[in-house]
Every structure is written in C-alpha cells, then in structure tokens.
Structure 1
C-alpha cells in the first residue's frame, strides 16, 4: 500500500551539517577562506589587466578614426577643388611623381 505519512527524506543527502566535524575543521575553514581571498585577489588583478587592455584598444581605435577622418576631409577638399576645375598642389605633385616613375621604366 501507499503510505501517506509525508515526503520521504534521503539519509545520504549532501545538504546539512555533517556529523563528526570538530576543531580540525576550523583549520580547514581558515585555509578555505584564505584560498577564497587569494582567488578574489587574482580575479581582481585579471579584471584590472583586462580593463587596461580594453582601454588601450579603444584609445588606439580612436586615434585611427581621427586619422581616417582627417584623410577623408583632405579628400573632400581635393574633390571640391577638382569640381571647380583646379588641380590641388598635392595631387599635382603625386601626378608628377607617378609620371617620373613611368619615364624611368
């Protein structure tokens, strides 16, 4: 027959207090706390290094973005001058250098 006394408990569960623990466990607990503290220190150090790396990465990317914007503005000025019928001095020099290379070949 089915018993209706309530839920059955397992005697070998992992929860709860374990019998037979005494003062030797205090030393284990201190060692465990020290390992935990050491692990936390190492975690904070790794986190700090990761943030430094990411900050350097962002700074490098920002520099690249500024350089590309400056180059884009230069090309826009050149395009505007070409549209107005003028050849910018920089482009003239580039064309002369390319022409000099072709003459050498």
Structure 2
C-alpha cells in the first residue's frame, strides 16, 4: 500500500499572532458593579415570583385532580350499590319472590319508554 503525504495549509498569517475576538461576552465589564446588583435583585425577585406562581398552579392542579378522583369514586360506589341491588333482585326472582321496589322500578322504566317513543 502506498500512502500520500499530507500537508497542512494555514489560513492565517503566523506573524499576526493568535487570533482573538475583541468583543467577547465572557468576563467582567468594568464600571457596572451597582447596575449589576440592581439587575440581579430584579432577576431574583422575578425568579421568586415565578416560583410562587408555579407552586400555586401546581396546588390548583393537584386539587382539581383530587376532586376528579373523589367524584369518580362516588360514581363507582353508587354503581356498585346499584349492581348489588340488581343482583339481589335476580336472586329473589330465581327463588320465586317479587323483590321490594321492583314494581316501582318497572313502572318508572315504562314511563320512560313512553316518553322516549313519543
């Protein structure tokens, strides 16, 4: 195998010295001590205010979710109670008994069917 020798081409003139930017963003700026303190205080206050607002939003979000869970749990308990009632009714019907409240339920359902069909 043959290898070619590589040469490095320099773009800047070595007699110019190292290449530096004059207007960099880093480092301290002379004569800005008191203005920086005021800016820093304002920045800290804005940060504190933002943190307070964030905590308030978080609290509201958790309260909303807790209310939502509570409502859903109530609905689940109501549905379980209704399911238990219907299960007991079916057992009583299998035994040949007329369950208490069945007649009112059937009348109510009949009224609802009449309203829907009209």
TM range (shorter): 0.7 to 0.9
Return the match for 2:29 from 19, 35, 40.
19
Matched, 1:78 2:96: no
**Partner of residue 94, structure 1:** 105
RMSD: 2.9
Bigger Rg over Cα: 2
TM superposition shift of 1:90 = 1.8
After TM superposition, the score normalised by the length of structure 2 is 0.65
TM superposition shift of 1:88 = 1.5
Long gaps (5+) in structure 1? 4-8
- Change in Cα spacing, 1:73 to 1:43, as seen in structure 2 (3 Å) is same
SS in 1 for 2:60: helix
Which string of whole-angstrom CA distances, capped at 9 and with x for unpartnered residues, describes residues 51-80 of structure 1? Answer: 111111111111101100000000000111
1:11-50 paired onto structure 2 within 5 Å: 11=21, 16-20=26-30, 21-50=32-61
TM superposition shift of 1:96 = 5.0
Long gaps (5+) in structure 2? 1-7, 11-18
**Partner of residue 51, structure 1:** 62
